[in-house]
A and B are shown apart, each in its own frame.
Chain A
Amino acid sequence: QQQVKQSPQSLIVQKGGISIINCAYENTAFDYFPWYQQFPGKGPALLIAIRPDVSEKKEGRFTISFNKSAKQFSLHIMDSQPGDSATYFCAASVDGYGNKLVFGAGTILRVKS
């Protein structure tokens, strides 16, 4: 059973649009929530991360929104570009240090030009 449930499985967005990927969890002990971006044939790359004491974090076109009471967090990609086409994974850590990550199943994003 997936401890972090990610949706949608796949997403098609027009260039310039907003891509939104959602994740939900049950374990309230999770204390660190990173997002990873993976291109075909490559390892995942850390994109952005948030701690549960922060409701939003923005880095360039990428924003994490965190709703602690709903146990949900989401990744927003503003002004989506074809180069953003990749698989995105949300993750959560329960050990207080970011070591034992549990990942969502992933979202395949395609940005149409």
Chain B
Amino acid sequence: DAGITQSPRHKVTETGTPVTLRCHQTENHRYMYWYRQDPGHGLRLIHYSYGVKDTDKGEVSDGYSVSRSKTEDFLLTLESATSSQTSVYFCAISSSTSGSGYNEQFFGPGTRLTVL
């Protein structure tokens, strides 16, 4: 999984509680991403980071916040979890050093989150 770890791998929580998911990389890549995967929707970008303290919103950012204080760590926080945020969350990393000229993204193993 391209030097990416996600923690926790599984989590069950109650509606209204805050939840933080962690993505850790050992590749020293500049870009990091958070996606959610739901049946019938493929993967949808939540937020991404293009450097320490530099982040941007994705397609489905409402209800989520992110932070990146170190190159290797990208945190996703659900301030007040809702049942609609039950999903599998994937972190990805990329760099601009690929031969294609584009930031080829490599995904972590995922975190399965259930909000009751």
User: Measuring CB to CB, which residues of chain A are less than 8 angstroms from any residue of chain B?
Assistant: 2, 4, 6, 32, 34, 36, 41-46, 49, 51, 89, 91, 93, 97-106
Judge whether B106 is part of the interface by a CB distance below 8 angstroms: yes
Q: Say whether, besides A32-B102, A101-B45, A43 and B110 are in contact (CB < 8 Å).
A: yes
CB nearest neighbor in B for A34 = B104
Spot the interface stretch: B13-21, B35-43, B63-71, B73-81: B35-43
Q: Which of the listed residues B4, B45, B102, B109 has the most CB atoms from chain A within 10 Å of its own CB?
A: B102
B22 CB to closest chain A CB (Å) equals 15
What is the bound-complex CA distance between A91 and B42, given in angstroms?
A: 9
CB nearest neighbor in A for B106 = A46
Apart from A43-B108, A98-B104, list 20 A-B contacts with CB within 8 A. A32-B102, A34-B104, A34-B105, A41-B110, A42-B109, A42-B110, A43-B1, A43-B90, A43-B110, A44-B90, A49-B104, A91-B42, A91-B43, A99-B33, A100-B45, A100-B58, A101-B43, A101-B105, A103-B42, A105-B42
Judge whether B34 is part of the interface by a CB distance below 8 angstroms: no
User: What is the number of residues of chain B that contact chain A, defined by CB distance less than 8 Å?
Assistant: 29
A106 — which chain B residues lie within 8 A by C-beta? 42
B97 CB to closest chain A CB (Å) equals 12
What is the bound-complex CA distance between A104 and B18, given in angstroms?
A: 30
What is the bound-complex CA distance between A93 and B101, given in angstroms?
A: 13
CB nearest neighbor in B for A42 = B109
A98: which of B40, B105, B110 is its contact (CB, 8 Å)? B105
Docked-complex contact B102 and A93, CB < 8 angstroms? yes
B102 — which chain A residues lie within 8 A by C-beta? 32, 49, 51, 93, 97-98
What is the bound-complex CA distance between A34 and B104, given in angstroms?
A: 8
A99: which of B42, B103, B110 is its contact (CB, 8 Å)? B103
What is the bound-complex CA distance between A105 and B40, given in angstroms?
A: 5
